[in-house]
Amino acid sequence: MIAETAIKRNERLLLFAIILVAVIVRTLIALIPHVLQGDEGAYLWLGKTLVTGGGYQFFGRPELHYTPFYPLVSGAIWLLVRDLVVASKICFVVFGSLTVWPIYLLARRLYGRPTAWIAGALVAVAPAITSYVYFYGSMTEPLYFLLSFWGIYLAMVALEEDKWWQYATVGVLFSLSYLTRPEGWLFPVITAGYVIIVRLIQRRAWQWHTLAKVGLLLGMFLVVALPYLAFLRNHLGVWTLTGKTWMAYAQQRMLMEGDLIEFDRLSWGLDSTGAEVMYHSLDKFSGHGMLDEIKSNPRRFALDVLHNVRQMDSIFLSKRVLPFFLFPVMGLGIFGTRWSGRRARGELYLFLIATVPAVVFLVFSTHLRFYLGTVVILLIWVSQGIVELGKWIGETLNGASTPAGPGGKARQWEKGVVLALAITMIGYYAVIQPPAVVDGLAYQRFDYKSLGEWLRDNSPANTTVMSRGAIVAIHADRNWAPFPHAEYDEVIRYARGHDVDLIVVNGDEFEVMRPQLAFLGDPAQAPAELELVNVYESDNDTTVMYKLVD
């Protein structure tokens, strides 16, 4: 009893130490400046608006693309720190570090403590789960993974212990996961199907309590998600899980075809009224649908999916994600020992959780951030592979050192080799981290951030700035109007109709995506109604801020 208590205490201390490492790694990364760009800035601004009584809207427009739980959480943190950048960094560090906990429990339940410790450590330091999220993600990923993997772990527990509260809790966790990122709806569907399959094999699938527990899981998911689903229905007139499906599909198709002009026009072109851009217009919900797009040209759809499949090696075989030498190790982790029935059930569930979302995303995108959940599961399998490889090397070394046969030192050899392999893998990721950070910094739009910070100190609070993205306005804490993809006369008419005070133009961006407006990148060519306010010069291009005058 005393020995068991000591083991549990040591296990808790080691888990705490791994989480502390995760905190240190993420804190060091979070100290590096970055820009609230893309989805990250939008989510944070939504949170600030929501918690200050502005409702779920983005600069005056009902928000129909982004789910609300991360905005609610980040908004609550903003209320404490009153700084969007700091709130984002806190979410990154805290939720990202705590994700180690359910990953540890999941790996321990299926494989044992050594695998769990290694899996936790790899998730703590891997660049794909740390610096990549910080620079390229929407910052919803840490909270999303924390909720999702707690749900996955408890679902595995529920299958074995079969308690009502476990199914209900899984439903709630997966609902919060969905409310953090819309693809989270896949988890309750996968889990419900998984439970039915396992109970079918056990000849218990159609017993009333099996169906009732699956129904409880799905029911709790819907109950928690219902307010948001009702919000979407109120604005769109139909029941749907997300308002971004068609736009996401159409945008990605343009990117795959390399047509950046059409991509920009699709997102920021004017709608039928000429008063709103398509991304924020209800026009895109009438007469547009992903299924209609697919049916109109199934051959193109098939080719696009095939193109995405061919990109998978560049995602998963990246030296900063899973270098090629880890795949044999991962195979050893999965198939290195015979499966028990319990192990087979667990492997089946992990396989479904890893592959189904990845397959669904093949329809949309090949951006790594959409496949990071799969990467986490692959890291668990790699961890088990390290343990299996360590056993083999340890037993071999022990046999070579004791010709008469295995002796009492076999276990010590095994532990030593597993520890050495784990440290080597952690060290590899530590070496890879700095260049990953350098690449991430190159991706940041510091021109927009700098102009936004200057604007915050040099403009009235009611200033409206028009730019292709909301980065400038968010960093300036000012109102924003999207810069439409249109002819110049239409742009100016739109700007005056939205009471725009300042207009921001990036020369390189417009030359590539809006050639008809590229002249605005040169202040010398600016029309008379645009008065130069500020210029941000970089090595590659120029970002210009104009004042719109009468």
Helices vs. strands in the chain: H and E counts, helices first: 24, 7
Residue with tokens 């308002």: 243
pLDDT of residue 400: 67
Strand order in the sheet with 502-506: 479-482, 464-467, 502-506, 542-548, 530-537
φ, ψ for residue 463, nearest 5 deg: -65, 140
Compute the Cα dihedral for 208, 211, 217, 222 and give only its sign.
negative
pTM of the model: 0.94
pLDDT at position 411, please?
A: 72
pLDDT digits (tens, 9 = 90+) for 393-444: 888 877 766 654 555 566 777 888 888 999 999 999 999 999 999 999 999 9
Rounded Cα distance, 277 and 484, in Å = 6
The burial class, CB within 10 Å (0-12 / 13-18 / 19+), for 377 is buried
Mean pLDDT by 10 residues, the chain (550 residues): 68 93 98 94 96 94 94 97 97 98 97 96 96 95 98 95 95 98 96 91 76 95 97 91 79 81 91 88 74 78 83 84 91 92 94 94 85 96 95 80 57 83 94 94 93 95 95 96 96 95 94 94 93 88 92
> Which positions ≥6 away from 306 have C-beta within 8 Å?
none
Q: Which pLDDT does position 3 carry in this prediction?
A: 59
Residue from 136, 188, 187 nearest 370 by CA: 136
Q: To which H or E segment does residue 405 belong?
A: none
For the chain, domains (ranges, CATH) are 245-307 (no CATH), 446-548 (3.40.190)
Which residue in this structure is represented by tokens 């809790």? 169
Q: Which residues share a beta bridge with 57? A: 62
For residues 125 and 429, give the distance between their C-alpha atoms in angstroms, rounded to a whole number: 7
Q: Angle at the Cα of 324 (from 320 to 326), degrees rounded to 5?
A: 90
Alpha carbon distance 337, 334 (integer Å): 8
Residues 333/351, Cβ–Cβ less than 8 Å? no
CB atoms within 10 A of CB 360: 12
Distance CA 298, CA 315 (A): 26
Q: Which helix (H) or strand (E) holds 232?
A: helix 208-236
E strands along 209-350, which residues?
none
Long-range pairs for 436-439 at CB < 8 Å and ≥24 separation?
A: 436/127, 436/131, 436/132, 436/320, 437/29, 437/32, 437/131, 437/135, 439/135
pLDDT for the residue numbered 388: 94
**Which backbone phi and psi does 94 adopt, to 5 degrees?**
-70, -55
**Alpha-carbon gap, residue 531 to 392, rounded angstroms:** 72
The whole-angstrom distance between residue 288's C-alpha and the CA centroid of its chain comes to 26
pLDDT confidence of residue 219: 97
For helices 84-98 and 38-51, what crossing angle results, to 10°? 110
What pLDDT does residue 233 have?
Answer: 94
> Distance between CA atoms of 523 and 542, rounded to whole angstroms?
10
CA-CA distance, 25 to 430, in Å (whole number)?
9
